[in-house]
Amino acid sequence: MSEARRRVRAVIVGAGPVGCLLAIELRRRGFEVEMHEKQSAGTMTSAGTARSFNLTLTHRGSSALRPALRAQLYEVGQVLRQRTVHHRDRTPTHQPYGVRDDHHLLSVPRAALQRILLAEALAAGAVVHFGHSCVAADAHRAEAVFVTGDGGVCRATGDILIGCDGANSTLRHELSKSGARMRIHQEYISHGHVELTMEPDAARALSQDRMHLWPRGDHFLQAQPNRDGTATTTLFMPVDSRAGELRFRAFPGRDAVRGHFEREYPDIADALPRVTGEVWDARPALLKVVRCAPYHYARAVLVGDSAHTMVPFYGQGINCSFEDAEVLCGLLDRHLAADTDRHGAIRAAVADFSKLRVEPGQAIADLSMANLEELNTHIDDELFHLRKGLEARLHQRYPRDFTQLYQLVAFTRTPYDEVVRRSERDRHVLDLLCEKYDPRTQADEIIACYPDLARDVETTASPGPMLSPGPAGTSRSGELS
């Protein structure tokens, strides 16, 4: 162990899943770790406020976990292998997530994920202080000040200060006003969400290895089966403010809720007995995007939602955040092993973290917003399904030349920004072929012509920017890992 690595002390603001994963990995490396969480211990591991939805791990995020920890999550999570779209006429459409057995989602209730990670962090030797709200920070001293639950004040100083305090990050705010010169943009989207209660018999009747979606124009219903036979059911719908209260835009009054569900969701409405109260009486949870750059300042760094808050429509928030944790730990390993100046090594590591993670973070935020449009409109469209069928056949025929966007995002470690560049090229080639040939009747011609046209397009296109190598960028483009 290098001198710089001895007795490194990490102060983590926030003890959610990402903070806990970082605590586990840093303790493995011999760091002293203390986490400060504003919520109480009981609140952290409770089922929430009925405005939640399960977190979905894919290969990208689960690869950041050690096998024993990953196995614990598979014991409580539900494997989902495809998406089932329930149309208004009660007919379903099935869309597999990938082409291999490991191309699946692991749907994990938030409270279960939190309980497991927190228990592992404590077992690893991390110290956790609950009821501590961050009110000030000094990045040059890697120091944060907290107000405790009983009204006291405490100060924590370390070698590195890590912000894992989520979308409304206090540490991000403190860094931005103390000289960090961060570019921060926050935007609320029109949609909010609320959790609904589905009757147990109806939940068990759903195919258990599928994500269930009922898209209806500008809103949709989602059901995620759980291992206990329940289904986490969530309504996503535009909201507006009426007399100072947030309401779902589609409902002029309480009496309109039940009729709307019977009309729009006839195959599932009877299984939602409390829907009127849950939709009308609950305040919808809002959704927003937060973009930030850089992610670091001096010896402080932002990780996960505190650095890049995204909407949940690609299911990559937790995956991107777990990947953040893996990359940061790898950079700390590299710099602390090579530099005898501990604080200099940490400053270099967090600076490299920004270089590697800002562009991917912005790319997946954009993809998540774009996927909202797909879920709202295109997913219920015949041409959309024809296109998806063409993409699946192209990958089967030319696995090294074409991989569907979702597979690149979820089931490879290719950086998100590189995924976007590759997908834009592939989409352009397929657009050209669909203009020349009718995808309804000439799919074979489209598939046969794809490789030659793709090579022509690549030859005439200017090369994209080179990416720095890193823990999340080591897979060759197009190779499923």
Q: How far is CA 82 from CA 67, 103, 172, 207, in A?
A: 24, 9, 37, 10
Burial class (CB in 10 A: 0-12, 13-18, 19+), 355: middle
Q: Which of 375, 398, 413 is the last residue of a domain?
A: 375
Would you state the pLDDT for residue 473? Answer: 40
Which residues, given as ranges, of the chain have pLDDT below 50? 1, 49-50, 462-481
61, part of any domain: yes
CA distances from residue 302 to 12, 332, 418 in whole angstroms, order as listed: 10, 14, 22
Nearest-angstrom CA–CA distance, 282 and 232: 16
Report the pLDDT value the prediction gives residue 434, as an integer from 0 to 100: 92
Asked whether residue 138 falls in the same domain as residue 51, the answer is yes
Count of alpha carbons within 13 Å of 393, Cβ hemisphere only?
Answer: 16
Q: What is the pLDDT of residue 474?
A: 36
Domain boundary among 270, 286, 302: 286
Residue 221 lies in a domain: yes
> Would you say residue 108 lies in a domain?
yes
- Answer yes or no: is 475 within a domain: no
CATH code assigned at 128? 3.50.50.60
Same structural domain for residues 333 and 437?
Answer: no
Say what the pLDDT of residue 463 is: 45
The answer to pTM > 0.75 is yes
Query: Which pLDDT value is given to residue 377?
Result: 65
**119 and 224 part of one domain:** no
Pick the last residue of a domain from 375, 396, 428.
375
Of 145, 124, 173, which Cα lies nearest the Cα of 21? 124
Region label for 130, one of left (φ > 0), alpha (ψ between -120 and 50) or beta (otherwise): beta
As for how many domains the chain has, the answer is 3
Same domain, 258 and 369: no
In this structure, the answer to whether residues 34 and 161 fall within a common structural domain is yes
User: What pLDDT, in 10s, does the model give residues 127-184?
Assistant: 999 999 999 999 999 999 999 999 999 999 999 999 999 999 999 999 998 888 899 9
Is residue 308 in a domain? Answer: yes
Does residue 49 form part of some domain? yes
User: 54-89 as b/e, with b when 16 or more CB fall inside 10 Å?
Assistant: bbbbbbbbbbbbeeeeeebbeebbbebbbbbbbeee
Phi, psi of 192 (to 5 degrees): -125, 180
Helix axes 67-76 and 110-124, enclosed angle (nearest 10)? 150
User: What pLDDT does residue 319 have?
Assistant: 98
Q: Which domain holds residue 249?
A: 188-286
